[in-house]
Copies of this chain bind each other. A is one copy, B any other.
Amino acid sequence: MLRCTSCGRMYSFDSPYQRCECGEPLELELFNGMYKKKGKRVWERFSEFFPLELDPELSLGEGDTPLTRAKKLSKELGIELYLKNETINPTWSFKDRGTYLGIHRAIQLDFRRIGTVSTGNMAASVAAYGAHSELEVYILVSSTIPEEKIKALAPYGAKIVKVHGDYGELYYRALEIGQKKGIYFINSDDPFRVEGYKSISFEISEEITPDYVIVPTSSGGLFRGIVKGFLEAKNSGLIEKLPRFFVVQAEGCSPICKAFNAGKEKIERFENPHTIAHAIENPYPPSGNAVLRLLKKLNGICTTVTDEEILEAQKILGREGIFVQLASATGIAAVKKLRRKGIIKEGAIVVSILTGSGLKTLRYIKQPKVEECSLQRLEECIG
């Protein structure tokens, strides 16, 4: 059964419902399975925690990403900081975990056509998994999408439609048209996509029991999946306590933090959004209210960071050996801020989710200093 995250109304598992009539997102109930230590893939070890039998043939090798300790930052901040590196995925972002589940759902419901509404990571992910599974793929992008992002979709051979009009509305319109035309839109907070993201929490829980988990948040799908994953990990005894959850948003587009910090129960459309972290620039996130509810219930925190802080954090992560896209750097900017404010305590075990590869947003990188040298003078140049 699928249950509404707000009003609790139930929907049959066999119908392609993604949102409740009340407008809020649906979710699967909590799973309480048995964790199997054996198994190379997270999908095997946690097979009892997923709503469908997972088929390795549909996989491109998503998940089981490294949890890397940030040596310099841990020392500097007096905490144990771990980076969950989602840049090491088949299309170089966390989206692949959700798409893997979403593809299963589409096939289970007998869809031969899938789609998504996205301007970046999710578009590439759905296009790749659709191609791999021999499904027809429809990628709906906004009219302002930069050329590079379209290029990164080219090899997968999806049908790409550039839609002129309100991008927020497009999300809902796509679901409607999908129902009508037989296209399963695996959008950002599809209930099965959210189930896929749980695997991040499972993998973290296998290695450590974090005190804090920081999640860059746009639509809210990733945050919901991560929280659900930790709830299930705790219920099944894999970890003894829940971490405290932090949502981070870019200051220039922070509808969830704005509502949460004002004590509101509903988000409002964020006017004139502008941030360099485009991957999380969603002014009206479809799971925004669901995230608000989780933050309230679990004593979470919502924090914003500026573009300058994001750029600095990207550099800091590079110095740890990981090159992330700007949206991913928001987590580290937030950790620094929350540690400074004393909200993150000394010695705490902190995990920041690195959502996608820096190669995706090369255009925001400044040329580094390069020394010119002749082969003859090389010894001097090296110094």
A201 within 8 A of B: no
8 A Cβ contacts from A46-69 to B = 57, 59-61, 64-66, 68-69
Q: How many copies does the complex hold?
A: 2
Q: How far is the CB of A200 from chain B (nearest CB, A)?
A: 14
- A164 with B370, Cβ < 8 A, contacts A61-B88, A155-B317 known: no
A85 within 8 A of B: yes
CB neighbours (8 Å) of A365 from chain B are: 151-152, 154-155
A23 to B40, CA, bound (A): 43
- How many residues on chain A are close to B (CB under 8 Å)? 87
CB neighbours (8 Å) of A69 from chain B are: 57
A110 within 8 A of B: no
CB neighbours (8 Å) of A163 from chain B are: 373-375, 378
Which of A2-10, A173-181, A265-273 participates in binding chain B?
Answer: A173-181
CB neighbours (8 Å) of A379 from chain B are: 177, 180-181
Pick the contact of A150 from B151, B152, B370 — CB < 8 Å? B370
- A370 with B156, Cβ < 8 A, contacts A59-B66, A92-B92, A131-B320 known: no
Which of A186-194, A286-294, A295-303, A352-360 participates in binding chain B?
Answer: A352-360
8 A Cβ contacts from A334-383 to B = 357-360, 362, 365-376, 378-379, 381-382
A128 within 8 A of B: yes
Contact with B along A137-172 (1 / 0, CB 8 A): 010110100011011111111011111111001100
By the criterion CB–CB under 8 Å, are A60 and B161 in contact? no
By the criterion CB–CB under 8 Å, are B162 and A321 in contact? no
Interface centre among A66, A152, A156, A321 (most CB of B within 10 A): A321
CB neighbours (8 Å) of A134 from chain B are: 71-72
CB neighbours (8 Å) of A59 from chain B are: 66, 68
Chain B, residue nearest A130 (CB): B321
Q: How far is the CB of A57 from chain B (nearest CB, A)?
A: 7
A358 to B61, CA, bound (A): 17
A90 within 8 A of B: yes
Chain B, residue nearest A177 (CB): B379
By the criterion CB–CB under 8 Å, are B61 and A152 in contact? no
By the criterion CB–CB under 8 Å, are B360 and A181 in contact? no
By the criterion CB–CB under 8 Å, are A88 and B85 in contact? no
A332 to B151, CA, bound (A): 21
Q: How far is the CB of A177 from chain B (nearest CB, A)?
A: 5
A199 within 8 A of B: no
Chain B, residue nearest A154 (CB): B368
- A378 with B173, Cβ < 8 A, contacts A60-B322, A66-B61 known: yes
A70 to B140, CA, bound (A): 27
CB neighbours (8 Å) of A133 from chain B are: 321
Q: How far is the CB of A225 from chain B (nearest CB, A)?
A: 21
CB neighbours (8 Å) of A89 from chain B are: 88
A169 to B378, CA, bound (A): 12
8 A Cβ contacts from A63-86 to B = 64-66, 68-69, 71-72, 85
**When A and B form their complex, which 4 residue pairs have the shortest distance between CB atoms, in order from nearest?**
A155-B318, A61-B66, A165-B375, A132-B321
Identify 17 new A-B residue pairs, CB closer than 8 A, beyond the known A64-B64, A160-B370.
A59-B66, A60-B68, A61-B66, A90-B321, A91-B323, A129-B321, A131-B319, A132-B322, A148-B362, A154-B318, A155-B365, A161-B373, A161-B382, A162-B372, A164-B372, A164-B375, A174-B378
